[in-house]
């Protein structure tokens, strides 16, 4: 009976999970900076969500529930592989880029590099808040820390990012203000 109930719940939530897969991938990528690993983490998250669909009590909390599963998958990966995994980023040098696209790519690369330099607890909080758009309470539930800790980590992460970006290109970026976009 439990198996049938799980299957029905999984089928009804399948489209809900599919619509959130890209967002899960983006957050996972911002944590690990490896496309294949991010895809694996997103896939594992959806697999575990479908497998444990009966654990979701309220459809309104599906985002928090999915990101908690993603966070747990990420923590499991770090526990198994260790925190000293080195990632190599490869670029296609032959691709011709326009000057405008090049400038945008440079800014994106600077932001990614700055986020990558953040300690993992700060990186997790800033990506969940600013990329995924979660509230402080939802982030606290996802990473299982008090709301005050989320607030202080987010403050430190944003302060650190602002300083890194201003130091990185103080002349070019001096006119920019970092702001939160929702």
pLDDT tens digits along 82-98: 655 454 555 555 444 45
Nearest-angstrom CA–CA distance, 108 and 104 = 6
Interior angle at CA 109, CA 108 and CA 115, nearest 5: 90
Distances (CA, A) of 156 to 19, 117, 118, 145, 161: 32, 13, 10, 16, 8
Whole-angstrom CA distances from 121 to 9, 167, 174 are 33, 22, 27
Domains, in order of start, for the chain: 1-81 (1.10.1740.10), 98-182 (1.10.10.10)
pLDDT at 96: 47
Q: Which residues of the chain have pLDDT under 50?
A: 85, 87, 94-97, 173, 182
């Amino acid at each position: 009976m439990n198996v049938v109930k799980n299957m029905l719940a999984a089928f009804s939530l399948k489209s809900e999970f599919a619509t959130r897969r890209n967002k899960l991938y983006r957050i996972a990528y911002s944590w690990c900076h490896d496309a294949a690993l991010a895809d694996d983490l997103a896939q594992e998250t959806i697999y575990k969500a479908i497998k444990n669909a009966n654990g979701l009590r309220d459809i309104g909390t599906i985002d928090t529930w999915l990101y908690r599963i993603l966070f747990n998958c990420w923590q499991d990966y770090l526990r198994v592989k260790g925190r000293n995994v080195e990632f190599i980023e490869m670029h296609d040098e032959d691709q011709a880029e326009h000057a405008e696209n090049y400038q945008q790519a440079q800014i994106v690369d600077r932001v990614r590099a700055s986020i990558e330099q953040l300690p993992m607890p700060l990186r997790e909080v800033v990506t969940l808040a600013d990329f995924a758009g979660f509230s402080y309470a939802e982030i606290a539930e996802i990473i299982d820390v008090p709301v005050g800790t989320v607030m202080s980590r987010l403050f430190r992460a944003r302060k650190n990012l602002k300083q890194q970006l201003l130091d990185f290109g103080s002349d070019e970026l001096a006119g920019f203000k970092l702001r939160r976009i929702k």
